[in-house]
Amino acid sequence: MEHSGHGMTMDLPPFTLGRGLGWSADPFFLVACAVALALYAWGVVRLARRGDSWSAGRTVSFVAGVLSIGLMMCTRLNDYGMVMFSVHMVQHMVISMLSPILILLGAPITLALRALPVAATRGRKGPRELLLALLHSRYMQIITHPAFTIPLFIASLYALYFTPLFDFLMGSKTGHVAMMVHFLAVGIVFFWPIIGVDPGPHRPGYLMRMLELFAGMPFHAFFGIALMMASEPMVETFRNPPASLGIDALSDQNAAGGIAWAFSEIPSVLVLIALLFQWYGSEQRQAKRQDRAADRDGDKELEAYNAYLASLNARGR
């Protein structure tokens, strides 16, 4: 079924949250979400059978991330998002900024590396070896580098919405799915090195990660403000909403701008909290390591220092 401004979307009643949350699955995203959850569950079960533990928090985070995509793409929100800029913006923001953070906090790559079997014979490449090769590839180094991810994150907004490309993609179901997949992929490569739970080609320090996070966010806010300040509809797709919705295109665009502006704060706060917890955890681990080393050495450093003081004392006599 084509969604290009005719057919079912023309007859949508005025938007309410209840109507928006009605079931209306996009087949691609329905299958993709189901497969992602099944693979993750397989990994967790495999570790459990082996007697290895896996954090329940990570599992909850990953499931929440996948379900947030399902909520955006497998409900009537997806139908309303084809004709209402404000609903489309909620979809975009959740899929590009909230879902990736939750998925990455679920550490799917770490789980895969621990659950996938090692190739039985040396020199043969199984799924685990292929995943490792991909993680260390030149391609991955480029697409997860801040010099690539930050401009891409910003261009995904400005180059898409303020050019005819957006209208072209919204003209077909396939184009719309491709755009949403792009938003998710951009969010994942942007937040992956910043969150730093999974191994990857770039592991910047905590301070650098915070700088990377804040480098992209102001542009999101400016984008939202540009939509809110505009005196006419800026995106052709949403210029003439169906009469059945009972909305004004310009006020809907203002709402979309407000959503984009407000949403740029949410991931910043979420990621910042996650980073501060990680930072604190790594400091604690470092302190424990030093304590363990001291126990093993019988506090050699302290002994050496005491011996040094004793030698000074003897010389001073």
Query: What digits encode the pLDDT tens for the residues 74-127?
Result: 999 999 999 999 999 999 999 999 999 999 999 999 999 999 988 666 667 888
How distant, in Å, are the alpha carbons of 4, 173, 294 from that of 1? 9, 8, 69
How distant, in Å, are the alpha carbons of 7, 33, 86, 170, 182 from that of 3? 7, 22, 17, 8, 19
Neighbours of 122 (CB within 10 A): 6
Give the Cα separation of 317 and 313 in Å (integer): 7
pTM: 0.85
pLDDT in tens, 258-304: 999 988 888 778 888 888 888 888 888 877 777 777 677 666 766 77
Mean pLDDT across 235-254 = 94
The pLDDT-based confidence of 73 (bands split at 50, 70, 90) is: very high
Instruction: Reply yes or no on whether the pLDDT at 305 is more than 80.
Output: no
User: Please, are residues 58 and 40 in contact by the beta-carbon 8 Å criterion?
Assistant: no
Give the Cα separation of 309 and 67 in Å (integer): 63
Question: Of 30, 185, 192, whose CA–CA distance to 108 is shortest?
Answer: 192
Give the Cα separation of 157 and 234 in Å (integer): 13
DSSP letters of 105-173? HT-HHHHHHHHSPPPSSTT---HHHHHHHHHTSHHHHHHTSHHHHHHHHHHHHHHHHTSTHHHHHHTSH
Place of tokens 């790559």: 109
- Sign, CA torsion 119/124/125/129: positive
Give the Cα separation of 242 and 251 in Å (integer): 14
